[in-house]
Every structure is written in C-alpha cells, then in structure tokens.
Structure 1
C-alpha cells in the first residue's frame, strides 16, 4: 500500500500526460502529492521529503508552464520532473538522510531499525531508486534528441525503471532477512 501511495502522483502524472495538457497533469500530480501528505498526517506519520519536494517540483513547473512557456514539450516536462525527483533523492543522500529512511522507519519495528544492516539496506534501496531516476532521465533525453525514436519507448524505459526499483524495494529487505536472519538482541547497538 505504501509503495502505491508513493508512486500514485507519478503514475497519474504519466497517464495524464498522454491524454491532457502539461498544466493539468502537473497540477493534478501536485494535488495528489498533497493528498498523500494529508493521508500521512491523518495517520500520524511524518511529512516525507519526497512528497513535499514533489509538490514543489510539480507546482513550480506547472506555474512555469502556465506563466512563462505554455509551449514546453511534453518530453521536456517529463524530463524536468525526472531531474527534479532525482535531485530530491540525491540531496537526501548528500545530507545523509536518504528519502527511503522516512518510509522504512514507519514500516519496521524499533529492533529492526537498530540492526547493523538496516542503514546499509536503506542506502542501497535509495541508490536503486537513483539508478531508476537516471534511466528515466535517459529515456526522456532519448525521446527529445533522437527524432525517429517512438514516443512510447521513453514510457517503456520509465515503466521498467520504476517497476524495477519498486520490485527491488520490496525484494531486498526480504533477501537480507533470509540471508542474515535476525541478530540476537545482544548484537544490537544499545542493547543490554
């Protein structure tokens, strides 16, 4: 359910870009981001860096398209969104607070969060998402600069990258648990 809420604004944006204007797609995606933030707040959860940053990216680009350049191509709009989301993710790593950590801490118990490999797994999953964002950027760049390339090829790359990262996000914690198991309580930092 969490991964669906995280990806809902981006999936909606991608679908709307196929059938309507960039302005509508951007502002609807921003509204969905705000709704997801509202759901988190209602459930007593924190406001996520990715969600808040995405509201800013979608809204700022929407305002730019409405006020400055209404003829910005759909490919350029998608490229800008992907660069914005990649920047959010990269900044989260630079400040040593990977955006995945906020979600992970709300999904696992305190004992799991204290395990030695927990932060390593969070960083690895965040880097997997960064790789997916880079692939999505490449897909958009190809659709802009390779004139004969079908438009759907960029969508296929984005779909495969996003779904690959989502699959890895679900699979990797299970893999680590199967491989390493749960350490004894005495192995956890701060355990007596």
Structure 2
C-alpha cells in the first residue's frame, strides 16, 4: 500500500494540500514545517523503494525548504504577510507548476503513470491524454483554491472562513483526487467502446461524484459543531447528504444490474 501511494501523484501533492488547508494566522511556521517534513519523508521513502526521481518531488522539497528558511530569518512583518497569504502562494505555485508542465509537454502526472504502466503503452495517445487531463484538473483545482482563499482573505477578511478557507478548497481537492482515480479507468474503455472494439463498460460518470453526498453530510455536521452555519443550514445539508447517499447507492445498483 505504501509503495502504491508513493507511485501515485497524490504523494507529491499531499504536502501542498496540508499547506493550503492549515496555513493561516499564527500557523505559518507549523504548516510549512509540516509540508516540508512530509515532502522530505516521501522523497526519501521513494528513494528507498528505488523509484525514479519526479519533478514534483524535487519541487516540493525545494519550495517548502525555501519557505522554512524564510520563516527562520524573516522579520515580524514578513511573517505576518506569509501567515495571511502563504496558502494562496502555495496554491498558485503548484497551479503554475502544473500549467508549465503541460506547456513543456511533460504533464507532471506522466512520470508517476509510467511507473504503473507497461512501457509499450507510454506512447499511446490515450495514455498521454489521460495524463494531460489529470494534470489539467489539478491545475484547475489549485487555481480554484487560490481564488477561494484570496476571496476569503481580501474580501471577507477572514482567512479561517468556514467556506472559503476550508469547505470549498477541500471540495475542489477531493474532486481532483476522485478524478485522478476515476479517469484512468474511464478513458481507455470509453475510447475502445467508441471505436467499436470489445472492452469492459467504462466506469459511470456518477462514480466520479460518489463522494459528494458524504462530503455534504460532513459539511453539515461540521457546520453545526463549529457554529459556522445556522442550525437550519447544517441540518438541511445533513438531510441532503443522506438522501444523496441513498440515491447514489440506487444508481450504482442499477448500473451493476444493467
């Protein structure tokens, strides 16, 4: 399981998720130290498994290492600025990294995918397209997170806003994770099906969103527990989430039956 995780782009993205979600006033040093420690841990663990060095792994260690050094030598004014904007800075940095990797025709997920795919498929158009799509989704997710955080900080003046600082960013991140797991199974079978070749049915699109009802329920519970939402909103979210879970199960059962 550990080896499979280290071969996944999620290993390279995990430190950024930690940084974007936990940075904030009074937490810059802790968040960046945690992200750097996680980056270094995964980098060394991958080397111990003799995995190839990934561009994202190197970017992780360098970026968060620089932030750790800045945090150690920065004055109070700089630290205050970083505490406010470090989340957006991290999201923008990773979004730009993903966009640049696409621009130079080496989408960052490609290096991970090659370690999980036989070499004879590496030049396949569908294999390459899958990685362009997944990398694009991650670029979009982190761009969205940066904009959500920016709105919370610059407009709402609340870096810990329940919606812009946590829920919206977490939702975008979970969607990108779900897409990363769903699309490599969906796209090849869909392409073969379109070409009229025998293949397994592609995964239903509903599978991409099967996490949503549980997420909505969790948001409702979190809103009630933290008093971040009115009680009526929290209860409504829980009811909608439970109803969505039941609906998703019925759709899945019908898909299997058909």
TM class by shorter-chain length?
0.7 to 0.9
Aligned to 1:126: 135
Counterpart-to-counterpart distance in 2, 1:147 and 1:53: 31
Matched, 1:165 2:176: yes
Looking at structure 2, the residues matched to 19 and 141 of structure 1 have their Cα atoms a distance apart, in angstroms, of 14
State how many pairs are aligned: 184
Q: CA deviation at 1:73?
A: 5.0
Distance 1:108 1:20, change over 3 A: farther
Deviations 1:125-163 (A, max 9, x none): 111111101101111111111226661212212111111
Q: CA separation in 2, counterparts of 1:7 and 1:100?
A: 10
- Aligned-residue CA RMSD (Å): 2.5
Residues 1:24 and 2:30 are matched in the alignment: yes
Instruction: Quote the Cα distance in structure 2 between the aligned partners of 1:144 and 1:18.
Output: 10
The partner residue of 1:153 within 125, 140, 163 is 163
Aligned 8 A contact 1:50 1:89 in 2: no
Partner SS, residue 64 of structure 2:
helix
Aligned counterparts of 1:148 and 1:28: Cα–Cα separation in 2: 25
Deviation, 1:106, is 0.8
TM-score, normalization by structure 2: 0.64
Name the CA shift for 1:157/1:88 in 2 (closer, same or farther; >3 Å). same
> Where do 5+ consecutive residues of structure 1 fail to align?
185-192
Report runs of 4+ in structure 1 exceeding 4 Å deviation: none
Comparing 14-23 with 28-37, greater Cα deviation is found at: 14-23
The higher relative CO (CA closer than 8 Å, separation ≥ 6) is in 1
Deviation at 1:18, TM superposition (A): 6.7
How far 1:20 moved relative to its partner?
A: 6.3
Q: Is residue 152–residue 161 contact of structure 2 (8 Å, CA) maintained in 1?
A: yes
1:64 equivalent among 50, 67, 70: 70
* Residue 58 of structure 2 is aligned to residue 55 of structure 1: no
Q: Which is higher, the Rg of structure 1 or of structure 2?
A: 2
**1:54-105 Cα distance to aligned partner (Å, 9 max, x none):** 2222222232233221222534010111111112112212222110101110
What SS does structure 2 have at the residue aligned with 1:71?
helix
1:38 to 35, 44, 50: 44
Structure 2: gaps spanning 5 or more residues = 198-258
Query: What is the TM-score normalised by the length of structure 1?
Result: 0.83
Map residues 48-127 of structure 1 onto 2, 5 A cutoff: 48-68=54-74, 69-72=78-81, 74-127=83-136
